[in-house]
Chains A and B, each alone.
Chain A
Amino acid sequence: MSTFEYLAVGFSQALQWHNILFCFFGVFIGTAVGVLPGIGPSSGTALLIPITATLTGMLNPADAATSAIIMLSGVFYGAMYGGSTTSVLINTPGESASVVTCLDGYQMAKKGRAGPALAIAAIGSFIAGLFALVMLAILARPLAEVALKFGPAEYFSLVVLGLAAISGLAGKSIPKALIMMVFGLLLSTIGIDSVSGSERFVFGAFVLYSGIDFITIAVGMFALGEVFKSILDKDHGTQDFPKIGRVLPTRDDMKKSFMPIVRGSVLGFFTGILPGAGATLSSFLSYTLEKKISKHPEEFGQGAIEGVAGPESANNAAAGGALIPLLALGIPSSATTSVLMGAFMMYNVAPGPLLFDKHPKVAWGVIASMFIGNVMLLILNMPLVKIFAKLVEVPAKILLPIIVAICIFGIYAVQGNTFNLALMLGFGILGYFLVANDYPAAPLVLGRILGPMLENNLRRALTGSNGDYSIFVTRPVSAALLFAAILWIAIPIFLKKRKKNLPLGV
């Protein structure tokens, strides 16, 4: 079958009425998550997993997987749209990829042009989203076919590369990021060993036999951790909100923004594919690029519409690009995609090269649903942007306790015991203190998710080589991947030693 026929299969899945509904829920909640302060895309997606599980409970398992993943990916790219709203309106990015949008977006809002700024962000995001999807549809399967030829040694090294990439760019301190990653990997070894059946680190505790679930860790670290952080960081006073006014951009705005959107889309997509780089970096790169090639760079920072159009397109294209390594290789490249991967696993649909063979309906259904979701998002973010902007005004004093209550409800709904609630709280507290001291949370969650895959491939490879560890460096593809992993860690350390600042100074 050609890509086109597969897409047709995908659309036949995505256009079923319940999937349209799930897609709409996903993008709607995603936009809200992007807009609401104190809750980012990774915590939003993690929080929604239990709720999605409840909602899809009425479907048969195969359909439930498709619907749930359609909804959760909707949250993922919906949050990318919504994140720009707070940047423009109150100069507070809803998620890290929208940091640069503040620079010119907020200035535009101050000049009474909040409407066009939001509209151009939505239009740019839409075009970029479509571009990334077309590329995803074209590239994902060929890439998966290459990865199918990988043996366990190559796969082991690929996972190492994925882990190294996210740790290399995750925080200020690489040793700390690596510690979190290794700690996550160690957590994944708790429970019954899937290969030999022996129990590991259980010590007779019955609740530990099935291991420490990723969702408990992710909700604790991301959602609860963020709540704790917001309580300490902000004073919860009231703020002035600018009027949005006219939403539609002028013809001149469109003309100015067209090329930045195109450049942002291409740049963002390719940055998104790179493991670890992701949406934040792409928006910085796009802003720098637009400023550099602009005929009037002095307008940047004063409310130049190009400074909103480029980065917003770039971060959405990157969100689409990030799905390629996730779907085709089973290697998530960001915190949010690792949460998405956890969701796939919960439904027994392992992302990776076999996904397109074994679960074509899920894979193509999700891809097709994103086309639909992007159209919905354009509608949600253009005519309805004024309604969503109201969400910005939801006071933290109401929102934060409710997020805690949703965390508790969600984990209890999935796990059904209070042990996991306590564990989640533990990870929340641990996560808050660790993140506050430059230990990033994402590598830990990613380590927990990729741990079993890493270990199984390690053991399979070593079984094949009779316990000879040199197999990882004597096989060329494996050696190349490991070398790339080392570079990914070594280059930032090297740059730091030379006191050069990375553009990603967040």
Chain B
Amino acid sequence: MINKKFDILSGTAFLAVGVFFIVASRGITSSSYGSNVGPSVFPTLLGVILVGLSAIVIYSAITWKAAEKKKSAMAVGRLFALIGGIVAYILLFEPAGYVVSTCLFLTFAFQLMERGKFWKSFFIAAIFSGVVYGVYVVLLQGTLPAFPEFLTEMIVGGSR
């Protein structure tokens, strides 16, 4: 099944991406010292190919006899709610710290998948985030100094 509208839309988007890369390649400072081929050649070439391929997709979508597919509205709503939840999770991730943000997100997501049994959801969420944090921090202490902000964020607990 081909979703005609999506194909035209996505084809156009990829066409725009191709054009963007071709145009933006011209702005690359070309210091092709020691090489005949500067840094702009490869992306320009790819941009041209992408434009060509997108044209094929758009063309075949326009000439295709449409057959649209549908998804249940409830599932779509749930998907968007989950995506919204992830956005909030990412925004809260550093300010609120790992345990708090993860616990909130998981509780929300469990409830989203199935209403009810709030405390059970909260309990699983708390255990998961606590265990991950505990294990990671135990390992962090000895061996991974590369992530200091993670720890400091947690200790300070909120000031970014």
Chain A residues proximal to chain B, CB less than 8 Å: 54-55, 57-58, 173, 175-176, 178-179, 182-183, 185-186, 189, 193, 195-201, 228, 231-232, 236, 396-398, 400-402, 404-405, 408-409, 412-413, 416, 418, 421-422, 425, 429, 433-434, 437-439, 454-455, 458-459, 462-463, 466-467
* B window 79-132: CB within 8 A of A: 79, 82-83, 86-87, 89-91, 93-94, 98, 102, 105-106, 109-110, 112-114, 124, 128-129, 132
Residues of B within 8 A of A408 (CB): 86, 89-90, 93, 102
B143 touches A57 (CB 8 A): yes
Given contacts A199-B28, A199-B29, A200-B43, 5 further A-B contacts (CB under 8 A): A58-B139, A196-B33, A412-B93, A463-B36, A467-B37
Closest 4 CB pairs of A and B: A401-B109, A397-B113, A467-B36, A193-B39
Q: B10-45 toward A: CB 8 Å interface, digit per residue (1/0)? A: 100010010001001100111111111111111100
Q: Does B49 contact A (CB under 8 A)?
A: yes
Contact B93 A402 (CB under 8 A): no
Number of B residues with CB within 8 Å of any CB on chain A: 71
B63 to chain A: closest CB distance in Å? Answer: 13
A-B CB contacts (within 8 Å), total count = 166
- Residues of chain A with a CB closer than 8 A to B142's CB: 58
Bound Cα distance from A232 to B49, whole angstroms: 33
| Residue in chain B with minimal CB distance to A203 | B24
Are A404 and B86 interface neighbours, CB within 8 A? yes
Find A236's partner among B25, B33, B113, B146 (CB 8 Å cutoff).
B113
Q: How far is the CA of A459 from the CA of B38 in the complex (A)?
A: 8
Binding site for A on B (CB under 8 A): 2-3, 6-7, 10, 14, 17, 21, 24-25, 28-43, 46-47, 49-50, 53-54, 56-57, 60, 71, 75-76, 78-79, 82-83, 86-87, 89-91, 93-94, 98, 102, 105-106, 109-110, 112-114, 124, 128-129, 132, 136, 139, 142-144, 146-147, 149-150
A228 touches B79 (CB 8 A): yes
Given the contacts A54-B139, A413-B136, A232 and B43 also touching, CB distance less than 8 Å: no
**Who on chain A is nearest to B1 by CB?**
A438
| Complex: A434 Cα to B57 Cα, angstroms | 13
Contact of A404 among B32, B35, B109 (CB under 8 A): B109
Q: Once the chains are docked, how many angstroms separate the CA of A462 from the CA of B42? A: 11
Give the distance to chain A from B157, nearest Cβ to Cβ, in Å: 17
- Across the interface, name the chain A residue whose C-beta is closest to B142: A58
Chain A nearest CB, measured from B26 CB (Å)? 12
Complex: how many Å from CA A396 to CA B112? 12
* Given A418-B90, A422-B90, A196 contacting B35 (CB threshold 8 A): yes
Residues from chain B with Cβ under 8 Å of A396 in the complex: 113
| Bound form: Cα–Cα A413–B132 in Å | 11
Contact between A405 and B128, CB atoms less than 8 A apart: yes
Contact at B106–A405, with CB atoms within 8 Å? yes
- Grouping DSSP codes into helix (H, G, I), strand (E, B) and loop, the A interface class, with mixed when no group exceeds half, is helix
Contact B139 A57 (CB under 8 A): yes
Assess A401 versus B36: contact at CB under 8 Å? Given A182-B49, A433-B6.
no
A460 to B152, CA, bound (A): 46
Tell which of B24, B31, B124, B150 touches A416, judged by Cβ atoms closer than 8 Å: B150
Bound together, the chains give a CA A201 to CA B20 distance in angstroms of 10
Q: Are A402 and B106 in contact (CB under 8 A)?
A: yes
Would B21 and A186 count as touching, CB distance under 8 A? yes
Pick the contact of B53: A182, A232, A400, A454 (CB < 8 A).
A182
- Chain A CB count within 10 A is highest, among B29, B53, B106, for B53
| Cα distance A152–B74 in the bound complex, in angstroms | 53
What is the CA–CA distance of A228 and B83 in the complex, to the nearest angstrom? 9
Known: A179-B14, A198-B28. A466 touches B36 (CB 8 A): yes
Contact A186 B110 (CB under 8 A): no
Closest chain B residue to A467 by CB distance?
Answer: B36
Chain B residue at minimum C-beta to C-beta distance from A232 = B75
Q: Return B42 CB to nearest CB of chain A, in Å.
A: 4
Give A175 to B149 CA distance when docked, in angstroms: 44
Residues of chain B with a CB closer than 8 A to A467's CB: 36-37
Residue of B nearest to A56 (CB): B143
Q: Knowing A189-B43, A200-B43, A232-B71 touch, does A416 contact B149 (C-beta < 8 A)?
A: yes
- A396–B113 CA distance with the chains assembled, in angstroms: 9
From B50, B60, B79, B124, contact of A186 by CB (8 A): B50
A232 pairs with B79, CB closer than 8 A: yes
Q: How far is the CB of B155 from chain A (nearest CB, A)?
A: 16
The answer to whether B57 touches A175, judged by C-beta atoms less than 8 angstroms apart, is: yes
A402-B43 Cα distance, complex, nearest whole Å: 38
> Are B94 and A183 interface neighbours, CB within 8 A?
no
Give min CB distance, B2 to chain A, whole Å: 7
Q: Separation in Å of the A403 CB from the closest CB of chain B?
A: 10
Contact call A231/B78, Cβ cutoff below 8 A: yes
Q: Cβ of B42 and Cβ of A179 under 8 Å apart? A: no
Tell me which residues across on chain B come within 8 A of A173, comparing CB atoms: 57
What's the least CB distance linking A189 to chain B, in Å? 5
Q: A183-B17, A201-B21 are in contact. Are A459 and B41 (CB under 8 A)?
A: yes
Residues in A with CB closer than 8 Å to B24 are 201
The answer to whether B39 and A200 have CB atoms under 8 Å apart is yes
Residues of B within 8 A of A231 (CB): 75, 78-79, 82
Inter-subunit contact B53/A58 (CB<8 Å): no
Q: Which residue of A lies closest to B36 (CB)?
A: A467
- Given A425-B87, A438-B2, are A196 and B53 neighbors across the interface (CB < 8 Å)? no
> Do residues A196 and B39 form an inter-chain contact, with CB atoms below 8 A?
yes
Partner of A178, one of B53, B71, B75, B114: B53
Contact A182 B105 (CB under 8 A): no
